[in-house]
Amino acid sequence: MHDDRTLIEARLKRVLDERIRPAVYPESVPLDVAVWHAPGEPVPVAEGLAAEPEPIEVGARWGAPWGTSWFRVTGTVPEAWAGKTVEALLDLGFDENMPGFQCEGLVYRPDGTPVKGLNPRNQWVRIGSPVAGGEEVRLHVEAASNPVILDYHPFLPTQLGDKETAGSEPQYTLTRMDLAVFDETVWQLVLDLEVLGELMAELPADSARRYDILRAVDRALDVVDLQDVNGTAGRAREQLTGVLSAPAVPSAHRISAVGHAHIDSAWLWPLRETVRKVARTTSNMTALLEDEPEFVFAMSQAQQWAWVKEHRPEVWARVKAAVAEGRFVPAGGMWVESDTNMPGSEAMARQFVHGKRFFLDEFGIENEEAWLPDTFGFAAGLPQIIKAAGSKWLLTQKISWSQTNKFPHHTFDWEGIDGTRIFTHFPPVDTYNCSMKGSEIAHAARNFKDKGRARHSLAPTGWGDGGGGTTREMVAKAARMRDLEGSAQVVWETPRTFFEKAEAEYPEPPVWVGELYLELHRATLTSQAQTKQGNRRSEHLLREVELWAATAAVRTGFPYPYEELDRIWKTVLLHQFHDILPGSSIAWVHREARATYARVAAELNAIIEGAQRALAGEGGRELVFNSAPHLRSGVAAGGAAAPAAAGATSVVPREGGGFTLDNGLLRIEVDAQGLVVSAYDPAAGRETIAPGRAGNLLQLHPDFPNMWDAWDVDEFYRNTVTDLTDAESVTPGDDGASVRVVRAFGASRVEQVLSLPPGERRLVVDTEVDWHETEKFLKLAFPLDVHAERYASETQYGHAYRPTHTNTSWEAAKFEACNHRFLHLEEPGWGVAVVNDSTYGHDVTRTVRTDTDHGTTTTVRVSLLRAPRFPDPETDQGVHRFRHALVPGAAIADAVREGWRINLPERRLTGAREVTPLITADNDAVVVTAVKLADDGSGDVVVRFHEAHGGRARTTLTAGFAVADVAVTDLLERPLPEETAPEHEGERITVRLRPFQLMTLRLRRA
């Protein structure tokens, strides 16, 4: 037989596009349209419905950037349409290629009842099926004219990302407002042909199945009368029955489809718009659930559920009803889908505490999966946190975006720093916006790495980010692929059902140890420095509030701020969302974040001051409050006492220019350019700075990645570097114990103060940058005379090691990485730490010195600032302040301690009495990360701690109050019956910990 395959496939495409799809709506009449443009911010629904609109015609421009327009559409169903299905087709000016990045609408009935969302791929509203004819139609559409930020030419700088700079030019053209007859038979034929055509394209060109489908399609197209598609569609469908009913082979891959709409809690839109995106999507999905009995929809991010409850009670009622049926599923158990690299230990824990508690309180549902499809890599401390929250599974997809190395598994056990393993799945469909295309389903089956051992994968299905979620077309296509020869088998299932099946069939999956590093989006560790500082400082202020408020509550009856803490924690957790904390949102988002963090700081500082004043009483004694988990300045951790006497630091001119700082523990030489040319540790007789090199070196790189400006830094940025060695001035500091350095470069200016605190073995570097560069990357470098093949960087509840070399492509890809408070590298017996108060990104490289002693130089560089122009063209412009410290002679214990010290400065006030700690630990390896009252208001004291040095530890915790009972709990403060209660004698509790083990104790007060 002659090969006519390409001829028939081309025929299918044209007939579908030009004849069959247009026949889905064979008759239509225009609707009357009027519009009212809300001034300023969105208005309540009642106000929008009551507003008096003015007529508008199809073809008119509408919608200033970030505006809200209320359309009223009215009309009458023609009498001749009696007995037919009728829908309103409401096209606000959509671009179908941009679901989630366009204007959007929510349709209401005149009484304010929400109907469904309008989106680029979802423009219909059912009027009746069948209609009687003559019905009056009246609908209201709350339409958001959100501007397109990420356009066809992506990453171009734009002022549209903030309503303060976006202007008023209309963004959209009203395209269609009609009543139309919906021909379901033709619609079903379209889906038959789409599924078969897409499946056919994925089968081998010489396979019998492909030709069976080809011949059936050819026969169906022969039956279609192109001048009477509606009259012949049913007979055409009959020609396809055989190929659509052929069952899948027994070995077919099995896909659990989960209805989903990944909605970024802020990104190319502000937080307030996400509230509306969620309302539109949940309205859509509850409507679809009513129409499709097999469909299941899962929504993550408790914050988004809470928004619906607070702002859209009429939508919330529908959501609650659907949840009760078990088909609208709370997923993930986190407050938001947060970044997981940068949030601190307690913040990461509280993401699960507040997320899981919301779903438990509202629905009685316990989430056992972490659902993070879009997060930019996963810190090595996360498995233990997931388990400690009472969960056991993780889903993500983003690792498939890695540029260099292909991850070797799709289903595996992920092992964290403490040895905890979490059953993890990466959907091989490689998208969290699956649309049930044949190419996607075939890719999932081909791509699945665990073939021969497992056969299940998951496909999050639906348009996200305001795209409206799952469509009826996706559901219909999935139904055809439930059991279809040549295709993977597709069935709608909840995340829990998928994980239970996947875990049962794969009892011994492969193991991946350590962080799940995303080889992309590395610059998110640096972009929007003030957002990152706000996060770090909020985390530590929250620690202080809980510590001092709990201590004051137990000691003095101080009112513990339960409601304030709940609200503020949720605010901080929201801003850890994976496009806010990483700095990849529009200017509006970060402008609001800066203001929010300022309000949070003011409120938390006021609570701290009140609690400390209650503890200290009125008096004239100078007291130092130590919030850090280690003794310092003679003050116990969690206590307050008179400060210990300190020594002195000398600052003397240095031969050749510059100054020498000496406090007896360290001697620092700062040259005439303000560079640290020596950091000498007299106790060890060691020089810290590599020969011929200088620390405190600011380095400037060009920074223009190939794409994803705020997200990415590409490795070639290193090819060009400017050392900022010219100083305007190098002078003694105003305190007489420091050196002040001033530099200017480009349009920017830097002032640094280098100080050597008396009695302390650390060089503190305070850096103030007035930053006005564009597409540049600023680093602070310390070249160290240390031979180390690996270094430690702090992560949640411990630290992880990374190599300093690039032996493999996996190591080379980690050219920018994350740390929390410290980096540490060492030779046996002697090491160096670099600690920070608010930065995360860094790189560590090694070279061998051929010009001097052939020793190894290991250079630590902390990332300070970037200046990408998309999506915020003014990213980081202005004044920034950073604090870092170089700690020569540091063991890992010193790195841990100094990291806490720099982030929790002492607080001083006068009072009448010292404060003994509420909880003390007698082993510095055991770090207490939280002391608080139990969230249930019982008055129980909760203490959370972990082993921080990477070894086994035994410690005795001593409570500063009478203890009636001790229980080991999960993060939600629920007793763990499988855990043996620790040894307990009076107020002394003895515990033993594995390396990096996390433990939470609940102490009932006597």
Indicate which residues carry an active-site annotation: 374
CB-CB contact of 65 with 160 (8 Å): yes
Taking residue 559's Cβ as centre, other Cβ atoms within 10 Å add up to: 13
Q: How far apart are CA 735 and CA 754, in angstroms?
A: 11
Burial class (CB in 10 A: 0-12, 13-18, 19+), 135: middle
Q: How far apart are CA 638 and CA 621, in angstroms?
A: 18
Q: How far apart are CA 649 and CA 759, in angstroms?
A: 8
- Backbone dihedral angles phi then psi of residue 502, each to the nearest 5 degrees: -65, -40
| Alpha-helix residue ranges (DSSP H) falling in 512-652 | 529-556, 562-574, 587-616
Burial class (CB in 10 A: 0-12, 13-18, 19+), 648: exposed
Collapse the DSSP code of 350 into the 3-class scheme (helix H, G, I; strand E, B; otherwise coil) and give the result. Answer: helix
- 3-state SS, 679-691, equals EEECCCCEECECC
Determine the angle formed by the axes of helices 271-291 and 302-311, rounding to 10 degrees: 90
- Backbone dihedral angles phi then psi of residue 371, each to the nearest 5 degrees: -120, 100
Taking residue 17's Cβ as centre, other Cβ atoms within 10 Å add up to: 10
Structure tokens at 27: 């008759």
Bridge partners, residue 82, by sequence = none
- 3-state SS, 300-345, equals CCHHHHHHHHHHCHHHHHHHHHHHHCCCEEECCCCCCCECCCCCCH
Structure tokens at 961: 């109050």
Q: How far apart are CA 248 and CA 251, in angstroms?
A: 8
- DSSP E strands, 32-182: 32-38, 54-55, 61-62, 67-76, 85-91, 104-108, 114-118, 124-128, 136-145, 172-173, 176-182
Bridge partners, residue 967, by sequence = 1002
One DSSP character per residue, 141-189 reads EEEEE---SS-SSTT---STTSTTTS-----EE--EEEEEEE-HHHHHH
**Contacts of 22 by beta carbon, 8 Å cutoff, 6+ apart:** none
Instruction: Name which of 313, 299, 288, 295 is nearest 125 in CA terms.
Output: 288
Taking residue 324's Cβ as centre, other Cβ atoms within 10 Å add up to: 10
Strand duo 328-330 + 297-299: pairing: parallel
Q: How far apart are CA 338 and CA 581, in angstroms?
A: 8
Instruction: Name which of 765, 279, 774, 800 is nearest 516 in CA terms.
Output: 800
Cα 185–191–193 angle (5° rounding)?
A: 105
Q: How far apart are CA 129 and CA 493, in angstroms?
A: 29
Q: How far apart are CA 241 and CA 18, in angstroms?
A: 23
Burial class (CB in 10 A: 0-12, 13-18, 19+), 807: exposed
Cα 531–532–538 angle (5° rounding)?
A: 90
Tell me which DSSP letter residue 16 carries.
Answer: I
Tokens 């009636």 belong to 964
Bridge partners, residue 779, by sequence = 699, 863
